[in-house]
Amino acid sequence: MLFTAQRWRTTAGAGLRLRIDSRTALTQLSFAVPSALLPTTGAKRRPAGFIRLYVAGKAKPVRFALTLPARGTRSVMLAAASGGPTVSLRRNGVRVTGLPARTAVAEITLYRVTKLDRATPARTYTVKATVVRQAAMAQTLSAKPKPPR
Helices (H) and strands (E) in the chain, counts: 0, 11
Residue extents of the structural domains in the chain: 2-143
> Which of the two residues, 43 and 78, has the higher pLDDT score?
43
What does the mean pLDDT of the chain come to?
76
pLDDT greater than 80 at residue 89: no
Domain 2-143 has CATH 2.60.40: yes
Q: Distance from CA of residue 25 to its chain's centroid? A: 17
Nearest CA-CA partner of 26 in 102, 108, 83: 102
In this predicted model, which residue has the larger pLDDT, 55 or 148? 55
